[in-house]
């Protein structure tokens, strides 16, 4: 089950059915099933507190993913800062809505054990993000 929430911010307008379908498609591509996924939209300050409390990081980020996977069932929480996405979309000259989808994809890829620590991993992550963003755009 995929649920959408907002904390201390207004939730963006999204096609939740398309996002849910895409997430299920990604899971299938990785030969996994979708368990409980929570997508929580928030702001910089809220996410900074999570970053400090749980990861001991004192900086802003666009997403923090908590993985609760069990065997081949993908479950987790995606905390997403809409403030970061807005700033990043401007810096990268991307549409805000498209950047929101990219970050959701990014977080779900982390739940599927795709990392982005090394240059090689970042390249692979970006490849998957672009692939699934294009698939999302093709959905009716």
Question: Is the four-CA dihedral 49, 68, 116, 105 of positive or negative sign?
Answer: negative
Indicate whether 140 pLDDT > 80.
Answer: no
| pTM listed for this prediction | 0.96
- pLDDT tens digits along 81-106: 999 999 999 999 999 999 999 999 99
Residues near 111 by Cβ (< 8 Å), separated by ≥ 6?
37, 65, 67, 69, 74, 75, 76, 78
Q: Which domains are assigned to the chain?
A: 2-138 (3.40.390.30)
Question: Is the four-CA dihedral 3, 81, 51, 124 of positive or negative sign?
Answer: positive
Which residue has tokens 């908590």?
66
Indicate the burial class of 72 (C-beta count within 10 angstroms; 0-12, 13-18, 19 or more).
exposed
Structure tokens at 119: 């240059």
- In the chain, pLDDT over 90 holds for what percent of residues? 99
Structure tokens at 86: 């807005």
Q: How many Å apart are CA 59 and CA 65, to the nearest integer? A: 15
Q: How many Å apart are CA 32 and CA 71, to the nearest integer? A: 9
- pLDDT tens digits along 15-38: 999 999 999 999 999 999 999 999
Decide: 11 and 41 in contact? Cβ < 8 Å: yes
């Amino acid at each position: 089950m995929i649920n959408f929430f907002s904390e201390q911010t207004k939730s963006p307008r999204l096609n939740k059915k398309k996002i849910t379908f895409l997430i299920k498609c990604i899971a299938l591509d990785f030969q996994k099933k979708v368990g409980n996924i929570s997508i929580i939209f928030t702001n910089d300050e809220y996410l900074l507190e999570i970053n400090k409390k749980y990861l001991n990081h004192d900086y802003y980020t666009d997403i923090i993913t908590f993985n609760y996977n069990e065997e081949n069932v993908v479950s987790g929480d995606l905390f997403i800062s809409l403030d970061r996405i807005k700033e990043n979309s401007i810096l990268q000259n991307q549409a805000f809505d498209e950047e929101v989808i990219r970050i959701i994809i990014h977080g779900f890829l982390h739940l599927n054990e795709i990392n982005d620590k090394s240059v090689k991993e970042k390249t692979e992550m970006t490849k998957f993000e672009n692939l699934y963003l294009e698939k999302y755009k093709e959905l009716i």
